[in-house]
């Protein structure tokens, strides 16, 4: 997954103006083989949904998704919307 994001997906996200805050894997070796997390920043949930629709309709991204299904490199993906608390250093 790291190679996929390093070489392809990060470029697709940038092309669709998605602001990546960072990419992470867990420090525990057993969990890191199965966990890849990335955070994006948005002005609004509507902006986020619109951006994701653009990514999903991108032909290059669709090719990556097909390869994931064939190679079974992605078992499960989740999406969580978050908002900062009023005392969060990162807003």
What are the tens digits of pLDDT across the range 49-87?
999 999 999 999 999 999 988 888 888 888 898 988 999
What are the residue ranges spanned by the domains of the chain?
2-71
Sole residue written with tokens 């978050």: 82
Dihedral, 8, 6, 76, 62 alpha carbons, nearest 10: 0
pTM assigned to the model: 0.81
pLDDT in tens, 2-16: 999 999 999 999 999
Query: By the 8 A CB rule, do 39 and 22 touch?
Result: yes
Neighbours of 20 (CB within 10 A): 14
Higher pLDDT, 32 or 57: 57
């Amino acid at each position: 997954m790291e190679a996929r994001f390093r070489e392809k997906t990060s470029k697709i996200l940038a092309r669709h103006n998605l602001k990546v805050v960072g990419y992470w894997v867990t420090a525990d070796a057993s969990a890191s083989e199965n966990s890849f997390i990335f955070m994006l920043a948005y002005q609004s949930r509507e902006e986020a949904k619109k951006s994701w629709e653009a990514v999903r309709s991108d032909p290059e991204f669709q090719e990556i998704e097909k390869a994931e299904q064939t190679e079974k490199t992605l078992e499960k993906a989740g999406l969580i919307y978050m908002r900062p608390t009023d005392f969060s250093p990162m807003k």
